[in-house]
Structure 1
Amino acid sequence: MYSYLNENIKSVQEKIKSVCAKTGRSIDTVTILGVTKTYETDVMNAAIEYGITDIAENKVQEILRKYEDVNRGVNWHLIGHLQSNKVKYIIDKVELIHSVDSLKLAVEIDKRAGQIHKIQDVLIQINIQDEASKFGIQPSELEVLLKAMAPLTHIRICGLMYIAPIVEKPELLRDDFKFMKKMFDDLNNAPYPNVRPLHLSMGMSSDYEIAIEEGATMIRVGTKIFGKRTYPAK
């Protein structure tokens, strides 16, 4: 019933393998996040059986709705905007929060993680073009936020996340991805104890190959694995 998932996953893996061979990277340096927005748990579990180890949701309520019905052993990621008042609902469920964009949110994550004796891994979301339709901080604001987050002991800043604009030709995004890789590399010089650069989350179904060429370590793939999304009627 879900054999198409196996074929799609293998196709993505082959493209990753090809890009990594071209750029001299190991395929182990790239993690596929299966973006499961709008897809139901039977589809998610089938994808997990076919080798997807990390799944990503945009909304807290979707994690809560699906969590108990999804196979254990998979890593959950939150990639959408997170409101401070919803942190408490997912702090015990997610491996990585990709969308930290304010000190207020970071403080709440730190507090809630401390309550369950956890160090929560997070990424800082960057909004290069300062697009009004997207969350994230401007590149010039990163140093200020890192310094303000330095006293937080139950949060670990593991890198950066970037959502590129939708464009007709993915090649047009190459400069943005290069810019993000430079920012990510510069994190290695950050003099703060809770900064440990591991992940550069960028690239989606339409542009992940270019993102990998420019240094992405996590790609967020939805439709190229799961097929066309069907949104519920409003």
Structure 2
Amino acid sequence: MSIAENIKKYTEEISPQATLVAVSKTKPNEDILEAYEAGQHVFGENKIQEMTDKYEALPKDIEWHMIGHVQTNKVKYMASYVSLVHAVHKLKLLKEINKRAKQEDRVIECLLQLKIAEEDSKYGMEGTEAEKILTSEAYSAMENVKIVGLMGMATFTENEAQIEQEFEFLKKQYDKLAEKHQFKYLSMGMSGDYKLALKHGSNMIRIGSSIFGERNY
């Protein structure tokens, strides 16, 4: 299937419940344009430099999501255009995003990344830490960032029961916090587990290789 056909397939499958984020990391601009012309306007990248190069070259109504681990010293490069930062894993990073967004006279939406997987390689905070940030004086003083939900990545495993358990846990955390805070997005689910994520209430799905084909690193 072509990229355009894949976009159509996934959009039909997940809408209206969820937003599709097409993960375009390592993919050339031509591939992104093909997806864009098929109606996909939300793209996810995991390296700020690569995302910035694409932002400069591609249509300006594309919504860019930073889905990877963010280094504080790189925030300034995306502050003028990024729509949503998925993986905020500590207060220090939130402060930097706020500072850089202020310089650009923008408000940047962010998701707090909770650690739900067993793998050590996955970043993220505990639910209690997320609550601490949301109710902190430091966050309430920030005028240029808005925490609009949570993000989490399940363990990379064939064990569906474990994945479901992790997604269920994240949804419970989301529901608990969404009551008090203006949450919009629960970003969980990727190519291999998006059906389970939808079943457990995800409303933002990140799909890459199933749309664009395998990556060439």
Secondary structure of residue in 1 paired with 2:205:
strand
Partner amino acid, structure 2, of 1:230? N
Aligned partner of 1:50 in structure 2 is: 38
Preserved CA contact (<8 Å) 1:12 1:224: no
2:106 corresponds to which of 118, 131, 150: 118
- The normalised TM-score by structure 1 is 0.87
Question: Residues 171 and 74 of structure 1: is their aligned pair in 2 closer, same or farther, counting only changes over 3 Å?
Answer: farther
1:202 corresponds to which of 179, 188, 193: 188
Q: Within 5 Å, give how 1:98-113 maps onto structure 2.
A: 98-113=86-101
2:204 corresponds to 1:218: yes
2:61 corresponds to 1:65: no
Following TM superposition, by how much is the alpha carbon of 1:40 offset from its aligned partner in structure 2, in angstroms? 0.6
Aligned partner of 1:10 in structure 2 is: 8
- The normalised TM-score by structure 2 is 0.93
Structure 2 unaligned regions, length at least 5: none
2:213 corresponds to 1:227: yes
Following TM superposition, by how much is the alpha carbon of 1:129 offset from its aligned partner in structure 2, in angstroms? 4.0
Following TM superposition, by how much is the alpha carbon of 1:189 offset from its aligned partner in structure 2, in angstroms? 3.1
2:84 corresponds to which of 91, 96, 109: 96
2:173 corresponds to which of 172, 180, 183: 183
Question: Residues 14 and 116 of structure 1: is their aligned pair in 2 closer, same or farther, counting only changes over 3 Å?
Answer: closer
2:152 corresponds to 1:157: no
2:21 corresponds to 1:33: yes
> Using the alignment, how far apart are the partners of 1:117 and 1:9 within structure 2?
33
Percent identity between matched residues is: 40
> Using the alignment, how far apart are the partners of 2:171 and 2:104 within structure 1?
33
Following TM superposition, by how much is the alpha carbon of 1:74 offset from its aligned partner in structure 2, in angstroms? 1.1
Structure 1 runs, 4 residues or longer, greater than 6 Å off: none
Preserved CA contact (<8 Å) 1:126 1:139: yes
